[in-house]
Amino acid sequence: MCGIIGISAKADVSNDIMTCLKSLSYRGYDSAGMAMVGDGQISERKIKGKVSNLEDYIKNNPISGNCGIGHTRWATHGEPNTINAHPHTISKISIVHNGIIENYHELKTTLKDNGVNFISDTDTEIISQLINIELMNNKQPLDAFIHAISKLEGAYAIAAIFSDYNNLMIASKVGSPLVFMKSKNKTIISSDAYSIAEFGNNITYLEDGDIITSQNNKIHIFDRALNKIKRPSKRISKRTKDGLNGHEHFMMKEIKEQPDVLSYALSNYLDFTEFDIKENKFDFDFSNVERIIISACGTAYFAGMVAKYWLENIANIKVDLEIASEFRYKKMFFDEKSISLFISQSGETADTLAALKYAKQNKQRVISIVNAEESSISNESDLVLPIFAGQEIGVASTKAFTCQLATIASLVLYLGGLKGAITKEQKETYIQELMHIPSQILQSLEFEQTIKKISKDIYKSSSALFIGRGSTLPLAFEGALKLKEISYIHAEGIASGELKHGAIALVDKNLPVIVLAPDDLFYVKNLSNMNEVYARSGKITMIGKVDNEHLKGLAINGIDIDITGKFNIPIIMAVPLQLLAYHVAKLKNKDIDQPRNLAKSVTVE
């Protein structure tokens, strides 16, 4: 995951930037760099590989200055190489950036048509180029910065320095995290509170749309409407130092990390410049594959259910899906035209590993989708597709689930193209839709306050039902699992159409029923099922395409997730379910990160 640092101070800041880059490196990265202002010019050092490579490089080619920026890059647009590494310096401006600029293609095309030459393949360079154009039009740095970022769509945290202003740093954020710390002698901004915790005790979190300027250690903060404002600072708690980054629980931290980690997961497999698949990531002979056998446990199994839905409906490939603890003892129908796919966050789950070994004993070729790349399941696999969620500490899986789905979506697109089930144009459209996932996740995170209120209607219940169809049926199971594992409320996921075959007997005025009804081909069917629940006085919370009519009539609560896109729907709709489970558990005062009886890595049968 990219990390950004900016420091402006009364003395040389190069060593401090290096210290912060080292602290940021736990996030994972493939190149690093820094830029400093001194004597009316910007000097930049960047290199592919580890921060230690950068440190050696700078030892031999020192730079210094009282104002500088630093970056650890995890490649999204463009290969991990030195040219694409940050900072991106154009003439009198240098910037570092974390996030994805979604309208990068349009902006780049327009700039190119106007004669701008690009040096790198990154989306970030667009920002440097835009600011540079404004500076060349004699705008002051802050104006130039504001003008440039007003053209950006997507999620980002940016920090900029200017060669003509040897102590000026400007930064802003939308979606991606950004904090700052001010002491007597320096101002530090960072995408990660943890990375600067050793420099002081007080930290301020910026909000979306905020712009901060720091010059000669005087700071100003502006909100989205450019009003001068103050943001409250917090004492850095032991939790921040421990990596909680200001959150009360790892589960919430991990839920909130999803825009970031999903953009990395997706851009590992998809090329958002050409709207194509990075085929080299799928180095495996799929030519004779006619059937895929998928196996996993728990949340990973529900990701497998979504995989089955997508592989069959989009890539036209037959899928058999088995819970790993059943798979390992079952007669499985392996043949030379089938391969086995195992999904596991930890890569160590005993049942999944045993199922994998059973498949291998039967001469199956094996693919795995894992978070822990150094794990038993990875080691045993012929092809490993990492999900890049970063370490997941909360026992209830959140970001790993959505990153599993993002990785599966990429595999489905690759196979769909290979098997001729989707055209080049369809593939491009799907990739364009997937590019919006990080910002759509951000929008769904904005429902947190509404979800907190909804939690009050649920936390006293002894039971809850989640219903869905198509790609949201696995989410009904996942939503129920999340709720039961951390709040200890009994919950069940059920196919909306199955209600009338039994479970509807449970419905009364005390039963919360969470209806997953996105804008897909099952919408009207889901509404009919919702009516069935309403007729029996069930307490409906509707998540999906919710309009006032539904709220006035059928549902007591609604979360309007206004998205389409076969891949986007289940990924985005997972977020309100995670938030709901979290807030219900919080109201019940449960141990959210370490629920009773559960372990993060289930290495026993």
Active centre residues (catalytic)? 2, 600
Can you tell me whether residue 173 is helix, strand or coil?
strand
Toward ligand F6R, which CB reaches closer, 297 or 543? 297
Cβ atoms of 16 and 181 within 8 Å: the answer is no
Toward ligand F6R, which CB reaches closer, 132 or 371? 371
Residue with token string 């909130």: 256
Least separation in angstroms between residue 96's CB and ligand F6R is: 34
Cβ atoms of 93 and 261 within 8 Å: the answer is no
Beta strand extents in 226-302 (DSSP E only): 228-229, 233-235, 270-271, 276-277, 291-296
Beta strand extents in 226-377 (DSSP E only): 228-229, 233-235, 270-271, 276-277, 291-296, 318-323, 338-344, 365-370
Can you tell me whether residue 18 is helix, strand or coil?
helix
Least separation in angstroms between residue 350's CB and ligand F6R is: 9
Toward ligand F6R, which CB reaches closer, 166 or 371? 371
Least separation in angstroms between residue 482's CB and ligand F6R is: 6
Residues 6+ apart with CB under 8 A from 191: 2, 3, 4, 5, 24, 98, 157, 176, 177, 178, 179
Toward ligand F6R, which CB reaches closer, 167 or 344? 344
In the bound state, the residue with its beta carbon closest to ligand F6R is: 298
Least separation in angstroms between residue 451's CB and ligand F6R is: 18
Least separation in angstroms between residue 490's CB and ligand F6R is: 16
Preceding amide of 87 cis, omega within 30: yes
Residues 6+ apart with CB under 8 A from 393: 243, 250, 254, 593, 600
Q: How far is CA 390 from CA 54, 81, 243, 341, in A?
A: 23, 22, 12, 21
Residues 6+ apart with CB under 8 A from 33: 44, 45, 46, 47, 54, 70, 71, 73, 85, 86, 87, 96
Toward ligand F6R, which CB reaches closer, 85 or 306? 306
Least separation in angstroms between residue 344's CB and ligand F6R is: 3
Least separation in angstroms between residue 481's CB and ligand F6R is: 6
What's the longest Cα–Cα distance across the chain?
Answer: 77
Toward ligand F6R, which CB reaches closer, 179 or 300? 300
Residues 6+ apart with CB under 8 A from 554: 530, 531, 534, 540, 542
Toward ligand F6R, which CB reaches closer, 275 or 401? 401
Instruction: Give the interface with ligand F6R as residue ranges (CB under 6 A).
Output: 297-300, 344-346, 349, 352, 396-397, 481, 485, 601-602
